[in-house]
Structure 1
Amino acid sequence: MMRVDIFTVAKEIFSGAISKGNIKRAQEKGLLELYVWDLRDFSPDPHRRVDDYPYGGGPGMILKPEPIFYGVRKVLTPQSRIVLLSPQGRIFNQEIAKELSTLPHIILICGHYKGVDERVRDYLIQDEISIGEYVLSGGEIPSLVVLDAVVRLIPGVIGDLESAKGDSFYSDSLDAPYYTRPADFEGIRVPDALLSGNHEAIRKWRAEKRRKRRVYGRDTGFQCGR
């Protein structure tokens, strides 16, 4: 049996999609154990807040690290693959779907707002996947794309597995890393340049990070983020 845990700020998006088709069939056959978690349930904030403004300024809100780290830790096992749905990830295709379909446990983190605190990328996730170079509101629809493509390859979900095996997100894809409060999360600090208040230092830091992402930002293979 495969287990999939999805972490999102828009849980309601999933209710219809996971109750139909191959995803429903896989659950009914006991081949898939699926959980969708609201990140707000893991927020230490009394108002269940999951986002905050980026250090160093800039438009948009950033998903805070605590809800993501705490939520993932609740379900993490030694067999888990932690995947962030993000425009910076490797482009999803059938080969990646086949790869993921062999895993016992997948954790899907849905990006939202401007993005996630960079410490999630650096110290938690193991894989990063994009479904294409276009703008979406968040990682919920990409996670459903990945889930559907993977589930149909699980043996027993559909009748003709060999046929199934052969069947042929937002605009900051090359942006600099973003960080939000707290400045120190479990000893992992926000870069000093962003805390300096020096606008020129912040500009130079972001320009250098953007340059590196243009060269190195999209991996062609699996890399561990921890």
Structure 2
Amino acid sequence: MIVNPAAITVLCFGDSNTFGQPDQGRGRLPADARWTGQLQQILGPDYAVIEEGLGGRTTDLNDPDRDDRNGRKYFQPCLRSHSPLDMVVIMLGNNDLKTKFGREVMDVAAALEGYIDNIEETAWSRSGGVPAILLVSPIHLDANQPAFTEQSSEYDAESVRKSRDLGPAIHRIAESRGALFVDAASVAHPGLDGVHLSYDSHERLSKLIAQTISG
């Protein structure tokens, strides 16, 4: 925990790729290997990075198989518990593309706009204003990875196609609401299971987000 009272506080809210799910097997990558941990190391003690990742988290959908994965239900109390915040980073969307949901890309992007509403209505910065907002479009699903079929049965070819369309849709939302935007897929890709960040992608993503945060 960073105890510097002047540290710039950054909340990173996401799914398994923020939690640090490896692309092979179960468990969790070590803190210093996850992109959030590497982000903290890059930014240094003048920043405090708060990691809020959960595997299977959707934007605002109730998962019939897991009753605690609707990210929107947790987001507002999460903002309240961590404020004051200087920036909120949100990387969500791929779980909405599971076949059981049948969700369209524009609906995913619209759900993320609801997160901006929550931030503007609930969170506050140390100066009393609204925290800066960074929307990160997730990496592309990759059906060509060797373990995709075996380990990623909740996705299909249509999910893969939609994942490639998420970036532009989320970018439009960010522009319309005055939020910052980066495309994780521009520097990062999934590993063997075709869904979770490859080990080396964590470092590249952390650098991209650090550059955006530090300006």
TM-score (normalizing by structure 1):
0.35
Larger radius of gyration: 1
Q: Would you tell me which structure has more strand in proportion to its own residues?
A: 1
